[in-house]
Structure 1
């Protein structure tokens, strides 16, 4: 991980310690810009933010961006918004405040209100908090080949601890177990690809060029060769490799390293928890120079009537993560702050 000497002595640029995080347009913009840098399913960015007062922010689900075919209950949406919530919490900490999060504060009348974040005066951010905050603009989803080097034990331990810190469980999966999991992913991906409604939904969030949302061509990654991991093809099938400048299948790492993220339950609160844990794991991985991509195909196929069933002693799998060391990849664009921030503040931001 980056050494102590590289951790800045102050918070985010322009941040004044002790200043309420949402009191100024600059502070508001910094906080939301950090939040929206989070990963989301197909880069749908299914979130909206509402400033309640100088110290309070509401996080809403943008239900117009729900994937109705693959995510009808909103599990993926909840995980995505949880990742944004973790980034927002870090941004609040950079101002010397503690983020007090109330999840699902009004489930009866406002089920789309996922969390209220209230900032209370606190101590200065810790070096680890500063480091994770610094990693926000550098985190990427990397669908390209990794070089096959195994992650050191201390790195794996740090990732496990990151998930634990958010009330989730991360279990590394390697060797034959990883291959079995990848076979499950491949089977699920093939099943989904045979569904015309799924293909249409995926096509809606696929962009040949860079846009403000969706997955652009430069982020697809190449088509894996025989025996490679079942990377989602984003509806391109055999033409996928053309977006990598070639067109021929590409060799990926022979023994992919995976990790499964679990939560004890499988409801909206658990999905938010999973998203916060996932983002903490991904930012920790970024700090160690570890690349990551995500698999959710088997979870997309989980029948709604079984999503509340307990599946094992660790609870419910909420995400499968591929980890390794790879070449840097380009960032994927995000919608501007003014598009995700409700009210008068959005027009000024």
Structure 2
């Protein structure tokens, strides 16, 4: 059986799935190089957020999400993805992974279900209704993260409100940082561009201060709406907090988001406390569950349109 990398059309299908992944501010910070029987994933360091993400954590999570999509797309061909992460961490820091395909089993029903919703997954910054997630759905999301070696914790209302308070404080601090505002403005707005967060994806601004969604409009108006009174918040953790862990976090996050999408659940993300310049790093910053990598808001929201994607010729075989 010919492998998925045996033809250019096969490679394109795999990379098309990869680039549908979410990324911080829709920066799409990835490049892919096809070489015979493998695809190498590189970080596009020119798209790193040097103010909000100087260590490359969000960049690594974004590329990890793309890796999960690649694995699912390879699985649809009856092959198994073999991923070698960070093969040269010192010699080539932008070299994130080498992905090969070996003959495997037919895709499971679960893999088919997740692959089918790759193009439908959205980040939803609009109000959700007040329906709680069913216990079995929450359990599926927790299991999805665990399968990728991460831990997802569904927070109760009391803890969720406390966490949102920390997010709000971080958001206020970032909004006063001129460098952060300039960087954010570079990745937002309208125009004929294939990246960044377009105005239609800004979402609505909460009518009160209960939900600290990131203000992509930078205070320049926009739709105001009432949001759910008791947001359902989840926290994603990994054991460590280095480049390999960020790839794990991205794959776990994407499996959670696809599992949510397949069950009709909407999601948006909070990372403001992790974007603060004085945030602690290393083992001393780890808690009982490890290192926090992302906060998620989950619920049932309205349909939202897609955001733009870079054309394949910009990301495939452009890195020697």
Encode CA deviations 1:235-254: one digit per residue, 9 max, x unaligned: 4315132xxxxxxx310000
Distance 1:157 1:33 in 2: 30
What root-mean-square deviation, in Å, do the aligned CA atoms of Structure 1 and Structure 2 show? 1.5
Distance 1:302 1:163 in 2: 27
Partner in structure 1 of residue 147 of structure 2: 165
List structure 1 runs of 4+ shifted beyond 6 angstroms: none
Q: Is the 8 A contact 2:52 2:277 kept in 1?
A: no
Encode CA deviations 1:258-315: one digit per residue, 9 max, x unaligned: 1000000000000000000000000000000000000000011163653443421110
Q: Is the 8 A contact 2:267 2:296 kept in 1?
A: yes
For residue 112 of structure 1, the aligned residue among 66, 71, 94 is 94
Partner of 1:111, secondary structure, is coil
For residues 123-162 of structure 1, what are the structure 2 equivalents within 5 Å?
123-162=105-144
Distance 1:309 1:40 in 2: 27
Partner of 2:72, secondary structure, is helix
Match status 1:103 vs 2:85: yes
Distance 1:289 1:210 in 2: 30
Match status 1:65 vs 2:40: no
Greater Cα offset, 36-45 or 25-34: 25-34
| Pair 1:120–1:170, CA change in 2 (3 A) | same
Encode CA deviations 1:13-60: one digit per residue, 9 max, x unaligned: xxxxx331121121111110000000000000000001121x311100
Q: Is the 8 A contact 1:266 1:307 kept in 2?
A: yes
Match status 1:88 vs 2:88: no
Partner in structure 2 of residue 7 of structure 1: none
Distance 1:106 1:238 in 2: 44
For residue 271 of structure 1, the aligned residue among 243, 246, 257 is 246
Length, aligned pairs only: 320
Partner in structure 1 of residue 60 of structure 2: 78
For residues 146-295 of structure 1, what are the structure 2 equivalents within 5 Å?
146-209=128-191, 211-241=193-223, 249-295=224-270
Normalised to the residue count of structure 1, the TM-score between the two structures is 0.89
Partner in structure 1 of residue 35 of structure 2: 52
Distance 2:270 2:318 in 1: 36
| Pair 1:199–1:191, CA change in 2 (3 A) | same
Distance 1:307 1:195 in 2: 24
Normalised to the residue count of structure 2, the TM-score between the two structures is 0.97
| Pair 1:210–1:308, CA change in 2 (3 A) | farther
Partner in structure 1 of residue 290 of structure 2: 315
Partner of 2:304, secondary structure, is coil
What is the deviation of 1:209?
4.2
Greater Cα offset, 205-214 or 82-91: 205-214
Q: Is the 8 A contact 1:263 1:317 kept in 2?
A: yes
What is the deviation of 1:227?
3.6
Distance 1:49 1:77 in 2: 15
Task: List runs of 5+ in structure 2 lacking aligned partners.
Answer: none
Match status 1:27 vs 2:23: no
Q: Is the 8 A contact 1:145 1:326 kept in 2?
A: yes
Match status 1:334 vs 2:309: yes
Task: List runs of 5+ in structure 1 lacking aligned partners.
Answer: 1-17, 242-248
Q: Is the 8 A contact 2:181 2:218 kept in 1?
A: no
| Pair 1:301–1:33, CA change in 2 (3 A) | same
